[in-house]
Amino acid sequence: DNPNVRVEYTETDPGIPYGFWRSVGASFQGFVVEAFIDELATTAGKDPYQFRRDLLGKAPRHRAALELAAEKSGWGTKLPAGRGCGIAVMESFGSILAQVTEVSVDQQGAVKVHRVVCTVDTGWVINPDTIKAQMEGGIVYGLTAALKGEITIKNGRVEQRHFNDYQVMRHGEMPQIDVFIVPSTETPGGIGEPSTALAAGSLVNAIYAATGKRIYSLPVRPQQLRNTTA
């Protein structure tokens, strides 16, 4: 119900062909919007979870997903130095999700994702196992993009050729992922893409909690975070 809203769109031709990616526009909206909301919370001197909760008084489904994520993740628990939790919530493809991501950042700036708690209200549930699998798969995509997904151009051609130089998160790099479905009788929403959209936002918010360093561009680079452990 904010009366002061302005949305603009400017199309830019990068000079190379490009296509859509899993979660399409929501992929960067989840990063930009939720990272900015987190920064607003810090500026207001409020806890990132409580700040969001206070804004969702007229959005009970969003608030329920957010509250469940905070509860299941143990939000507010004191963590060791160099470790932090970030939170995010959004509506995407007709479903409503919240995520809490826990990370650590070492003195060399390397980010390790330890756990992701994902809550989802996708309306009337038909197959809960499918929902959980899609949430897990979407998180893999989102974390991979945020931590590794850089494409570089040289002499008009993409330099990356295959998974040896365009890497995907391996088993040993993956966090524990806990998915919780919010009971709902609403119309079913999409489930194949929404968790990808939240992965980067909750990740960079966790990095800020661990280091005090805001991330404004992706992928996250270790040199941005060296010797910044909070």
Give the Cα separation of 62 and 98 in Å (integer): 8
155-159 long-range CB contacts below 8 Å, 24 or more apart? Answer: 156/16, 158/16
Averaged pLDDT, 223-230: 76
pLDDT for 125-180, tens place per residue? 999 999 999 999 999 999 999 999 999 999 888 999 999 999 999 999 999 999 99
Encoding tokens for residue 5? 């809203």
3-state DSSP assignment of residue 7: coil
pLDDT exceeds 80 at position 230? no
- On whether the CB atoms of residues 101 and 86 are closer than 8 A, the answer is yes
> With bands split at pLDDT 50, 70 and 90, how would you rate the model's confidence at 40?
very high
pLDDT of res. 228: 64
pLDDT exceeds 70 at position 184? yes
DSSP character string of 20-36: --TTHHHHHHHHHHHHH
pLDDT exceeds 90 at position 16? no
Angstrom distances, CA of residue 165 to CA of 52, 68, 143: 38, 38, 17
pLDDT exceeds 80 at position 75? yes
> With bands split at pLDDT 50, 70 and 90, how would you rate the model's confidence at 3?
confident
- Residue percentage of the chain with pLDDT more than 90: 83
Number of helices and strands in the chain (H, E): 6, 6
pLDDT of res. 183: 94
pLDDT exceeds 80 at position 110? yes
pTM of the predicted model as reported, rounded to 2 decimal places: 0.93
Averaged pLDDT, 69-86: 95
pLDDT of res. 227: 75
User: Could you tell me where the DSSP H helices lie in the chain?
Assistant: 24-44, 48-55, 60-73, 128-148, 194-211, 222-225
> With bands split at pLDDT 50, 70 and 90, how would you rate the model's confidence at 27?
confident
> With bands split at pLDDT 50, 70 and 90, how would you rate the model's confidence at 17?
confident
